[in-house]
Amino acid sequence: MDRFGHTSRTRPPVVLTVPGLNNSGPGHWQTNWETTRGDCERVDLGRWSSPNRNAWVTRLDAAIREIDGPVILAAHSLGCITVAWWGALQSQAYGWPVTGALLVAPPDCDRVETPDMIGNFGPVPRSQLPFPSILVASRDDPYIFFERAHSMGKYWGSQFVDAGYCGHINADSGLGDWQFGQSLLDRLIDDAQTRAASADPGLPAIRPTAARRGTQEMHVQG
């Protein structure tokens, strides 16, 4: 228990950002969140330009295990597939230590024209993730058909969010700090803290972070 009365399970979640191929550079929402939010840190998956599925999943697992408390994953592109493989290969109890995941613009690694460098991440896992998740997809993402992204969300048990026309939802999309994405992340954080408080009735009530940031209109599909 720390000086605020938190046990490892009731501490505020650490947000691990999980980039995709070639990492996330300047102007990417992941990079911006790491600079501005204070609760985000990047997972170094290594070999950014020549990824290997097993190596990336192993590095993600090591990063999760280093944290003494709840973890939320904020993944982009191939990082989403890495998270899906971690969830399929690990045997964590539902919602612990990973308490949620924001999965943004996963690519379709099963398409015939998929480059070899990411094709080794296929076939895309079809098992439900052992934590709550939100999958965000763009209608004009060049790396996946919108309907295919929706199907992935069903496989993984994710809430599906239609981001409109944002390309690959990366630095080229010009999203800046991507407040819409942060509202989704804050929802996952709030839900995780609410579940922790419910499990420990001695904890004080938690003020939702999403309310502090304000809400944004979105198209959500179940």
At 132-164, the pLDDT tens digits run 999 999 999 999 999 999 999 999 999 999 999
On whether the CB atoms of residues 175 and 165 are closer than 8 A, the answer is no
Provide the pLDDT for residue 200: 58
Mean pLDDT in residue range 18-43 = 97
Q: Output the pLDDT for position 204.
A: 43
> If you average pLDDT over every residue of the chain, what do you get?
88
Q: What is the structure's pLDDT at 115? A: 73
0.75 exceeded by pTM: yes
Lowest-confidence segment of 1-10, 96-105, 175-184, 204-213 by average pLDDT: 204-213
Q: Are 192 and 169 in contact (CB under 8 A)?
A: no
- pLDDT band of residue 1 (cuts 50, 70, 90) is very low
Contacts 24+ apart (CB under 8 A), 9-12: 9/69, 9/70, 9/96, 9/196, 9/199, 9/200, 10/193, 10/196, 10/197, 10/200, 10/203, 11/68, 11/69, 11/70, 12/39, 12/69, 12/70, 12/189, 12/193
Binned at pLDDT 50, 70 and 90, residue 116 comes out as confident
CB–CB of 156/189 below 8 Å?
no
Confirm or reject CATH 3.30.1050.10 for domain 14-221, answering yes or no: no
C-alpha to C-alpha distance for 168 and 160, rounded to whole angstroms: 16
Check residue 213 and give its pLDDT. Answer: 38
**In the chain, where the domains are located:** 14-221
Quote the distance between the C-alpha of residue 130 and its chain's center: 13
pLDDT value at 11 more than 90: no
- Quick: pLDDT tens for 57-85: 999 999 999 999 999 999 999 999 999 99
Identify the residue with better confidence: 183 or 116: 183
